[in-house]
Amino acid sequence: MGSYRFIISGGGTGGHIYPAISIADELKRRHPNAEFLFVGAKDRMEMEKVPQAGYKIEGLWITGIQRKLTLKNVMFPLKLISSLIKAHKIVSKFKPHAVVGTGGFASGPLLKVATSSGIPCVLQEQNSFAGITNKLLKDKVAKICVAYDGMERFFPADKIVKTGNPVRADLISLQEDRSDALRFFGLNTQKKTLLVLGGSLGSKRINALIADNLEFFKSLNLQLIWQCGKGYVKMYEGENSDYVKVHAFLNDMAKAYAAADMIISRSGAGAVSELCLVGKPTIFIPSPVVAEDHQTKNAQALVAEDAAVMIKESDLEEKFKEEFLSVFESEEKRERLSKNIEALALPNATKDICDEIEKLLN
């Protein structure tokens, strides 16, 4: 085993950061003497989350192009030049044996410099609709690891490897007991349980939906584990009761998934990959304000396999109760959705991505 050096670049959201950390952890397990450096965007969440995971990180002065004319767009060329110069310094000094990009603005300049320097690079695309940074880099990198079929419409077919998305290790073999998990949350082991996930920051629209329907859920004798997000917990913590448990953030997702009979969730790539492993009937409510509406496309990919139900935010008022009851009241449909979503799981994603990286080292 050589003493390798790896640069891993990606960030802006947890969907880019956590896969990057998972890949680093697996490479570190395989190569304990390897050196790692992360490269992210200054002032974004990776500058906090990556050091918490035990890795060094450098920040680039980079942001994306806004959809409307703003001062940030005027500054973009200057930021890009600055980031390319710093990326060149980072690559020249660190001399990586391989570079991995998991998406986000910072990975663009870093991988542009690395590929131009002849360093083998791997992209990891989490979504069913490729991000702009990865599309721009597609012709220069050695391999592109994807999570969905049909990605040839974005990337060269000979570079694509379907691996899936890295997920938390404790979910790969979900061993939590349902009754123990329900007792952990202070809930009744005899009642059906709905798990609500609006992402770590929470979803204003999903939170409002749940609050408006608490009496509806109660009429169904249904109890809730409700992750509302740290920005909303003060607004909704008063709803805590015997059958509603409000949390800013769920630190033990394995227990939350084990306790759930049904799940309502956003459809970011990481959430979708986790929920395939979990194999519970799920209603996706995609965020409509993400780049290129990729959450809707992620959910649609599962709906096409009869593996989930999707309700657009714009349809919630009209369709939520009807769609919810169509799942809740039909054991046959719940079992079918569970079976079909579980069939889409790719539990070896992190291992398979690292196998591709190791091929380039040789």
Are 49 and 31 found together in one domain? yes
Cα gap 319→301, rounded to integer Å: 20
Cα gap 283→311, rounded to integer Å: 7
Are 39 and 80 found together in one domain? yes
Give the long-range contacts of residues 152-158, CB within 8 A, separation 24 or more.
154/125, 154/129, 154/130, 155/125, 155/130
Are 233 and 159 found together in one domain? no
The reply to whether 13 sits in an annotated binding site is yes
The reply to whether 70 sits in an annotated binding site is no
Q: How many CB atoms lie within 10 A of CB 30?
A: 15
pLDDT recorded at residue 167 = 86
Joined together, the tokens standing for residue 9 give 């670049």
pLDDT recorded at residue 148 = 92
**Among 129, 159, 156, which Cα is nearest to 144's?**
159
Domain enclosing residue 272, as ranges: 170-344
Contact 236, 212 (CB under 8 A): no
The reply to whether 200 sits in an annotated binding site is yes
Task: Report helix, strand or coil for 161.
Answer: strand
Task: Report helix, strand or coil for 69.
Answer: coil
Are 116 and 17 found together in one domain? yes
Are 144 and 176 found together in one domain? no
Are 121 and 151 found together in one domain? yes
Are 256 and 176 found together in one domain? yes
Cα gap 201→203, rounded to integer Å: 7
Are 284 and 198 found together in one domain? yes
Are 152 and 228 found together in one domain? no
The reply to whether 326 sits in an annotated binding site is no
The reply to whether 11 sits in an annotated binding site is no
CATH, residue 278: 3.40.50.2000
End-to-end CA distance of the chain: 11
Sign of the torsion angle spanned by Cα atoms 317, 322, 327, 328? positive
pLDDT recorded at residue 156 = 98
Q: Tens place of pLDDT for every residue, the chain, 362 residues?
A: 458 999 999 887 777 888 999 999 999 999 999 999 999 988 888 898 899 999 999 999 877 655 555 666 667 778 888 889 999 999 999 999 999 999 888 899 999 999 999 999 999 999 999 988 899 999 999 999 999 999 999 999 999 999 999 987 767 766 789 999 999 999 999 999 999 998 767 899 999 999 999 999 999 999 999 999 989 999 999 999 999 999 998 988 999 999 999 999 999 998 999 999 999 999 999 999 887 788 999 999 999 999 999 999 999 999 999 999 999 999 999 999 999 999 999 999 999 999 999 999 97
Cα gap 168→141, rounded to integer Å: 26
pLDDT recorded at residue 314 = 96
Element (DSSP H or E) covering residue 275: helix 269-278
Are 220 and 290 found together in one domain? yes
Are 127 and 52 found together in one domain? yes
* pTM (predicted TM-score): 0.86
Contact 256, 264 (CB under 8 A): no
Contact 290, 266 (CB under 8 A): no
Are 149 and 24 found together in one domain? yes
Joined together, the tokens standing for residue 149 give 């079929």
Number of domains forming the structure of the chain: 2
